[in-house]
């Protein structure tokens, strides 16, 4: 299953928890593992707090400080910062699925992390029944 994500900034974290839950519901599978996978080299998936938007802002502020956009990188496309961020965050997360519900903690949400936007992006959701 594919989830389309439209991003609006160079770096942005977008909560896709409800879209993932919807895709899971559409599948009819109620138990197993849900693999959420960014099909891009400059956009990642992470799980973190989705209650206070300040957390997203602080994560982006820090990652942009640690890995600045322009640091005399060699990659001609000019987006090495985004490639490095994705390798640190990782392209995917695996979430347990029980009785049709994603098993997430009270404050946890699934985020699509844009590091070279704005763009139209795709997230693959694959369920391993079990």
Q: Which residues bind Zn ion (CB under 5 A)?
A: 77, 79
**Shortest Cβ 61–Zn ion spacing (Å):** 23
Residue closer to Zn ion by CB (options 17, 79) is 79
**SS3 (DSSP) at 38:** strand
The CB-nearest residue to Zn ion is: 77
Tokens coding 74: 């060699």
**Shortest Cβ 22–Zn ion spacing (Å):** 31
**Shortest Cβ 77–Zn ion spacing (Å):** 4
């Amino acid at each position: 299953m594919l989830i389309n994500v439209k991003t609006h900034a160079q770096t942005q974290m977008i909560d896709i928890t409800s879209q993932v839950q919807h895709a899971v519901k559409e599948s009819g599978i109620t138990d197993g593992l849900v693999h959420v996978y960014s099909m891009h080299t400059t956009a990642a998936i992470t799980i973190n707090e989705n209650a206070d938007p300040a957390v997203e802002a602080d994560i982006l502020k820090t990652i942009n400080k640690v890995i600045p956009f322009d640091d005399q990188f060699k990659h001609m496309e000019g987006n090495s910062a985004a490639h490095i961020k994705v390798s640190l965050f990782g392209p995917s997360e695996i979430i347990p699925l029980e009785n049709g519900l994603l098993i997430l903690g009270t404050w946890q949400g699934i985020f699509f992390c844009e590091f070279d936007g704005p763009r139209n992006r795709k997230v693959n959701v694959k369920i391993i029944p079990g």
